[in-house]
Structure 1
Amino acid sequence: MNVGHSIISLVANRQDLEQFRKKNWTGTFEEYLDLVRTSPLVARNAFQRVYDMIQSYGSDVYEESRGERRVSYRFFQDPDNGGRDAVFGLDESLEAFVNAIKSAAKGYGIEKRVLLLHGPVGSSKSTIARLLKRGLERYTTTDEGALYTLGWIDEESPEDVHWCPMHEEPLHLIPERFRDDVTASLNEGRDDDGYKVKIVGDLCPFCRFMYTERLKKYGGDWTRVIQDIRVKRIVLNEQDRIGIGTFQPKDEKNQDSTELTGDINYRKIAQYGSDSDPRAFNFDGEFNVANRGIIEFIEVLKLDVAFLYDLLGASQEHKVKPKKFAQTDIDEVIIGHTNEPEYRRLQNNEFMEALRDRTVKIDVPYVTRLSDEIRIYEKDYNREKVKGKHIAPHTIEMAAMWAVLTRLEQPNNASLTLLQKLKLYNGKTLPGFTEENIKELREEAITEGLHGISPRYVQDKISNALVVHLDSQSINPFMVLNELEAGLKHHSLITSEETRSRYREMLGVVKEEYENIVKNEVQRAIAADEDALKRLCGNYIDNVKAYTQREKVRNKFTGQYDEPDERLMRSIEEKIDIPESRKDDFRREIMNYIAAQLMDGKMFDYRSNERLYKALQLKLFEDQKDTIKLTSLVSQVVDKDTQAKIDVVKGRLIRDFGYDEESATDVLNYVASIFARGDVKRK
């Protein structure tokens, strides 16, 4: 079998012809009424369909702080696309957005507003809009998201159908005076919790013209008019210009309002004799195209005033005014996005009060939780995407840490550093700070997340580091941090030297934090001798037990009973800053913990107590570091025995911490230089 045939067979076997037939269903108006009676969801409006689309992916409820419930909508994790466009760390903003959609779906008034996503550049506003458009496209391909439009059989060629240019709801064919009775019949027997059919809006100019002509032809007999109607299922698709529209402002000389509401087709004027004949008009403006779905306005506040008038009518009245025609009904979700300077201009412009009054602003700030910022970059820089290059541990974390620091406001509490604030936001506990304190910190920082460094800048510099260091198999945090610092000089969005200087200072804070992290990792790698840790722990517990029970400890070598080894116990406890005045409390705490474990039928494991485990590791490191002579690395003169011990440590860094050979060597050399500097200072 040749390759071409096998590929064609592969595609053929995966085709779903039944689904294709469903998506291309065509029937009569009577059959459509049966469909609506069976499933009223097909007659939903745009807000209802978008809300149901988001809900169809499910959600997770969690408690962000004490008593504060937060909802995370899985739709915004982009599950259909492998998370490529996933939005991280914006659950609060997305919850506000979905609540606005829900309110509009229920007809509480928000459906008459423009949903305005407001935030700094690179904060995911466009991504949210893109997710909604792609999601609605996919949803309308499913049975749950099905929707339909109408067309008119050609009088001369019955096999041809003139489809509605605005893909409108077929129920618009029901005359106004009969709508109450028709909806009562369609909704009969349905409970109040489910969707009920509502007929809102009138026929578009083209369909109204066709309807009027047929009504004249059949002497006012509506039942004969609908015999000329065909109904088909439509799938919303931006590329096909069905139900999804996008409008991007241009310079003022090239802006034309017909881009929103359509324009005259001059070639057809000769055929139909008038420029006010709807058959000689192209209903292909973005508002027309987006009917039944979503229209996105990119940088909406840069629109010319003439466009804003169209936008006001579209949001408040759900109508647009095509040239030469009466106001035309539309059914679509209007989403705009803008940045902070443009929004401030809107607030300061008294002539734009009407627009301010018709917008629902949803803040989309930068991420201020470190773990979420890390996820943004890991999405683009992972093993699958960065082939042939190893990104050393903490490289992305340090870049993300710096980005988040630039977005935080200095806390009012003078005893709290910006780095500590970052750690509190990221879930770390600090003495003296409760969840209530963290909530207060967020509330006092009104503009936090609306300024600072964009994720795009960080992504660009990580990419630079990958390209610039082609001779290196691994990139480390310093390579990326150096790129971040070098780029500040030419950063187009940093307008003051003071801001630039502050960002450089934050890079220094991050480098210092990285130093502490890698020192700790090397210490843990050196002290990762499990047998030695067990022996040290056993010795400590024996002494603590004797101390708390006022007993003596049997010496394994002499067989005699000695007093508990206070020097040993304190050398371990001091590693985790247990003061002399608190040593008794800590020792009782450890014994109570062991007793609780035994009562639950569990064997005590020193690794299950985080504080004790850390203290033991630091003590063992202190005892072993001189035997390894790590500082001798900087002199490049290492004896065979020491090299063997260093290789063991390097192996642990690779196995337990994610380093490769090159980055593990770099880290050991770096930490060795830190210890060497410390030795020089002590001398």
Structure 2
Amino acid sequence: MTIQSGVSLLQRVVELQDLKTFRELNWTGTFGDYLDIVARNPKVTRNAFQRIYDMIMSYGHEEFIDAKKKLIRYHFFSDPSFDADDAIFGLEIPLMRLVNFFKAAAQGYGTEKRVLLLHGPVGSSKSTIVRRLKRGLEQYSKTEAGALYTFDWYMGIIDSENWDWRQAPESEWEKCPMHEEPLRLIPAETRERFIEELTDGYNGEYAIRIVGDLCPSCRFNFRDLMLRYQGDWSKVIRHVRVRRLVFSEQDRIGIGTFQPKDEKNQDSTELTGDINYRKIAIYGSDSDPRAFNFDGEFNIANRGIIEFIEMLKLDVAFLYDLLGASQEHKIKSKKFAQTDIDEVIIGHTNSPEYRRLENNEFMEALKDRTVRIDIPYITRLRDEIKIYERDFNKKRVKVHIAPHTLEVAAMWAVLTRLDEPKKPNLTLLQKLKLYNGRTLPGFTEDNIKELRKEAPNEGMQGISPRYIQDKISNALVNYQADGYINPFMVLNELENGLKNHALITSEEDRKRYRDLLSVVKEEYTEIVKNEVQRAISADEEAIKRLCANYIDNIKAYTQRERVRNKFTGQFEEPDERLMRSIEEKIDIPESRKDDFRREIMNYIGALAIEGKTFDYKTNERLHKALELKLFEDQKDSIKLTSLVSRVIDKDTQEKIDVVKARLIRDFGYNEQSATDVLNYVASIFARGDMKH
């Protein structure tokens, strides 16, 4: 590694700076300059709902079919280039409802007058969704497509027609405390005519509108200057400087977050601002806007978004502010008239808190003004796995994670969230596989739709991803000395944690979860048995020879011919024993063998007509049958069960080393985990041999 000097590193930082973008984000100009921008790009005047909807859509989307249902996946919520740590998986339906809410609000269809409430069990991504929206707005406001503007006041004396606003010291500019839209400076009596002329010939997606009045602070400055210039608005507007507005939660610009405290200490001024008592002595009145701090969460979130964490824990007094803010888009600060706001109000809460709201008759007004979107746990296995792959990938974790470790943890989590199927011939594990896109004999996509319909609240209970993440972390720490973790280590951690799980209050639930761990262990056993079988039978040349032998025999059988024995040169009857030994591996009954053999030959014939050659890999069922047959033929020669007795001859050891190398190369194991899985599968076969 080359060690660079401090001077060269400093120079590198200078080179990496993007001064052009910095200047764009800190643009300032006159009100006339701003009107030029509006004329070129009317979207800078969008309201908060329109801006959020456009932000989501700017990342693109894709349509796909799931169980005959057309769904939309909005890339904003999962795009790793934006924020990989907060990527959201498998919640397409709730997120479609969320985007539809914003779309309707952007069009002015009424949902812009509602509080958006995300409701679901703990750890179901409610906070993550809001956090992603907030961070998305921060990034979007820095782009050309997401640009928006606000203004500052110069309250000094302008004594010359040639006065240059750029020469005024920065300390003499007074910012609008609520980052308002500059078009609000247009006097109310001239707005309608002004909009007509501004939008003449404009046919954009959103109509340009000037909604609401100036905040008390700007209203005071505007009135003061109008009196100074005897109503000459053109002179008043010279005191205004328009500037680019960039949202920032850290700087409390355009993004607010409110978290309820102890009920006795809640203070509504945290939402709507408070009197600055030090300035009362200067200005002589507590109703002078200059003696008031318009820095409540509602104030600073204007033009953007305000998040209410655990919203239903708010004191009733706060809810009145919430009702006015949502329905009327107005807030009431102490000592001032109602103030217009333009912001998205989004809260989240868990199920117990929401049940309390439903049972509280004093909350009727809030319920009437709330749009609830349920955010359930994931019920699709592959999406649950993505969560843990994101958190426990090779970049973050130095300990080797054996194949299927995250998969079995995810499988158990999803099983706890599913309702028992009402169909008697369907197990919970099979239901999980159907939801995950697997096809099972006797079940169609219509059956999957029925399963989802009969369990509308599926995913609203069960084990949280946080619990799984905690237990995987425990396994990584506890088995760090071993250099790797495997599924059994994680399953043991999951089971041991159940007795102290704070959210499981029923022994019946605890027992059910333990029983589901047994189901997962059985499924994992089948998975690794199949994996070792594939590793043993991964000799492609041997499979090709077996396949060619099988094809020769079924060809002779279907054409009622004899087969030439390549060793003796004699013609013999087709080898029925060989053919059946392969077909039985995929459950082809005796009564169906003729149909299956003709099906294979017809397939080969169709390929020949197209000028293509037959490859066993293109027929999944035949491929599986050949692998299982080869495994059966080879397992005795490899003597896998000798691993259990620890008595291994040199020839067997060499064959076992080949299998282990395949597990490492093709399936993602390391030396230790491959050895463990071979020992485990060997013990299974040993038990099977003892039974026989």
Name the Cα RMSD after superposition: 1.2
How far apart in 1 are the matches of 2:98 and 2:361?
27
How far apart in 2 are the matches of 1:605 and 1:571?
20
User: For structure 1, which segment, 530-539 or 417-426, has the greater mean C-alpha deviation from structure 2 after superposition?
Assistant: 530-539
Q: Following superposition of structure 1 onto structure 2, how do residues 169-248 of structure 1 map, counting pairs within 5 Å?
A: 169-191=181-203, 193-248=204-259
| Structure 2 residue corresponding to 1:617, chosen from 618, 627, 630 | 627
* Moved segments of 4+, more than 6 Å: none
How far apart in 2 are the matches of 1:156 and 1:472?
76
* Secondary structure, counterpart of 2:517 in structure 1: helix
How far apart in 2 are the matches of 1:79 and 1:59?
14
How far apart in 2 are the matches of 1:659 and 1:535?
29
Q: 1:637: how far off?
A: 1.4
The one-character-per-residue Cα deviations of 1:543-579 (angstroms, maximum 9, x if unpaired) are 1111111111111122222111111111100001111
* Secondary structure, counterpart of 1:32 in structure 2: helix
How far apart in 1 are the matches of 2:95 and 2:501?
30
| Structure 1 residue corresponding to 2:175, chosen from 151, 156, 163 | 163
Q: 1:379: how far off?
A: 0.1
**Equivalence for 1:591:** 601
The one-character-per-residue Cα deviations of 1:161-189 (angstroms, maximum 9, x if unpaired) are 11110001111111222111111111111
How far apart in 2 are the matches of 1:126 and 1:666?
40
**Equivalence for 1:250:** 261
User: For structure 1, which segment, 640-649 or 501-510, has the greater mean C-alpha deviation from structure 2 after superposition?
Assistant: 640-649
Structure 1 letter corresponding to 2:173: V
How far apart in 2 are the matches of 1:236 and 1:440?
45
**Equivalence for 1:9:** 11
Q: 1:129: how far off?
A: 0.5
How far apart in 2 are the matches of 1:241 and 1:89?
32
How far apart in 2 are the matches of 1:38 and 1:81?
28
Q: 1:82: how far off?
A: 5.2
Alignment partner of 1:433 is 2:434? no
How far apart in 1 are the matches of 2:207 and 2:320?
33
Is the contact between residue 120 and residue 460 of structure 2 (CA under 8 Å) also seen in structure 1? yes
The sequence identity of aligned pairs, in percent, is: 71
Structure 2 letter corresponding to 1:197: I
How far apart in 1 are the matches of 2:454 and 2:180?
48
Q: 1:195: how far off?
A: 2.8
How far apart in 1 are the matches of 2:263 and 2:194?
48
Is the contact between residue 533 and residue 628 of structure 2 (CA under 8 Å) also seen in structure 1? yes
User: For structure 1, which segment, 215-224 or 424-433, has the greater mean C-alpha deviation from structure 2 after superposition?
Assistant: 215-224
* Secondary structure, counterpart of 2:482 in structure 1: coil
| Structure 2 residue corresponding to 1:513, chosen from 494, 519, 523 | 523
Is the contact between residue 140 and residue 235 of structure 1 (CA under 8 Å) also seen in structure 2? yes
Q: Following superposition of structure 1 onto structure 2, how do residues 27-42 of structure 1 map, counting pairs within 5 Å?
A: 27-42=29-44
How far apart in 2 are the matches of 1:19 and 1:220?
39
How far apart in 2 are the matches of 1:31 and 1:550?
90
Q: 1:144: how far off?
A: 1.2
| Structure 2 residue corresponding to 1:474, chosen from 484, 503, 510 | 484
User: For structure 1, which segment, 33-42 or 326-335, has the greater mean C-alpha deviation from structure 2 after superposition?
Assistant: 33-42
* Secondary structure, counterpart of 1:410 in structure 2: coil
| Structure 2 residue corresponding to 1:384, chosen from 372, 378, 395 | 395
**Equivalence for 2:71:** 70
* Secondary structure, counterpart of 1:84 in structure 2: helix
The one-character-per-residue Cα deviations of 1:458-495 (angstroms, maximum 9, x if unpaired) are 00000000000122121100000000000000000001
Alignment partner of 1:542 is 2:552? yes
Structure 1 letter corresponding to 2:189: R
How far apart in 1 are the matches of 2:82 and 2:236?
45
**Equivalence for 2:666:** 656
**Equivalence for 1:275:** 286
Q: 1:218: how far off?
A: 1.2
Alignment: residue pair count: 679
Structure 2 residue ranges without an equivalent (≥5): 159-167
- Kindly tell me: are residues 461 and 340 of structure 1, through their superposed partners in 2, closer, same or farther at Cα, counting changes over 3 Å? same
Q: Following superposition of structure 1 onto structure 2, how do residues 115-514 of structure 1 map, counting pairs within 5 Å?
A: 115-155=116-156, 158-159=168-169, 160-191=172-203, 193-387=204-398, 389-514=399-524
Q: 1:371: how far off?
A: 0.3
**Equivalence for 2:23:** 21
The one-character-per-residue Cα deviations of 1:293-326 (angstroms, maximum 9, x if unpaired) are 0101111111110111111110100000001101
What is the TM-score of this pair, normalised by structure 2? 0.97
Structure 1 residue ranges without an equivalent (≥5): none
**Equivalence for 2:165:** none
User: For structure 1, which segment, 588-597 or 360-369, has the greater mean C-alpha deviation from structure 2 after superposition?
Assistant: 588-597
Is the contact between residue 118 and residue 338 of structure 1 (CA under 8 Å) also seen in structure 2? yes
How far apart in 1 are the matches of 2:61 and 2:606?
37
The one-character-per-residue Cα deviations of 1:65-117 (angstroms, maximum 9, x if unpaired) are 32x22111111114334522110001111111011001101100000001111
User: For structure 1, which segment, 496-505 or 438-447, has the greater mean C-alpha deviation from structure 2 after superposition?
Assistant: 438-447
Is the contact between residue 633 and residue 669 of structure 1 (CA under 8 Å) also seen in structure 2? yes
Is the contact between residue 272 and residue 331 of structure 2 (CA under 8 Å) also seen in structure 1? yes
Q: 1:601: how far off?
A: 2.4
Is the contact between residue 107 and residue 206 of structure 2 (CA under 8 Å) also seen in structure 1? no
- Kindly tell me: are residues 563 and 489 of structure 1, through their superposed partners in 2, closer, same or farther at Cα, counting changes over 3 Å? same
How far apart in 2 are the matches of 1:336 and 1:368?
24
User: For structure 1, which segment, 82-91 or 402-411, has the greater mean C-alpha deviation from structure 2 after superposition?
Assistant: 82-91
**Equivalence for 2:162:** none
The one-character-per-residue Cα deviations of 1:353-382 (angstroms, maximum 9, x if unpaired) are 111111111111100000000000000111
How far apart in 1 are the matches of 2:235 and 2:611?
83
The one-character-per-residue Cα deviations of 1:116-163 (angstroms, maximum 9, x if unpaired) are 111111111111111110110011111111111122102259531111
How far apart in 2 are the matches of 1:119 and 1:364?
5
Q: 1:2: how far off?
A: 4.9
How far apart in 2 are the matches of 1:82 and 1:303?
30
Q: 1:252: how far off?
A: 0.4
How far apart in 2 are the matches of 1:317 and 1:465?
53
How far apart in 1 are the matches of 2:238 and 2:29?
11
User: For structure 1, which segment, 175-184 or 132-141, has the greater mean C-alpha deviation from structure 2 after superposition?
Assistant: 175-184
Is the contact between residue 653 and residue 659 of structure 1 (CA under 8 Å) also seen in structure 2? yes
* Secondary structure, counterpart of 1:48 in structure 2: helix
Is the contact between residue 407 and residue 453 of structure 1 (CA under 8 Å) also seen in structure 2? yes
User: For structure 1, which segment, 224-233 or 43-52, has the greater mean C-alpha deviation from structure 2 after superposition?
Assistant: 224-233
* Secondary structure, counterpart of 2:116 in structure 1: strand
The one-character-per-residue Cα deviations of 1:421-459 (angstroms, maximum 9, x if unpaired) are 000000000111111110110111011000000000000
Is the contact between residue 78 and residue 85 of structure 1 (CA under 8 Å) also seen in structure 2? no
Q: Following superposition of structure 1 onto structure 2, how do residues 574-585 of structure 1 map, counting pairs within 5 Å?
A: 574-585=584-595
How far apart in 1 are the matches of 2:430 and 2:496?
26
**Equivalence for 1:85:** 86
| Structure 2 residue corresponding to 1:54, chosen from 38, 53, 56 | 56
Is the contact between residue 78 and residue 131 of structure 1 (CA under 8 Å) also seen in structure 2? no
Alignment partner of 1:573 is 2:589? no
| Structure 2 residue corresponding to 1:43, chosen from 32, 40, 45 | 45
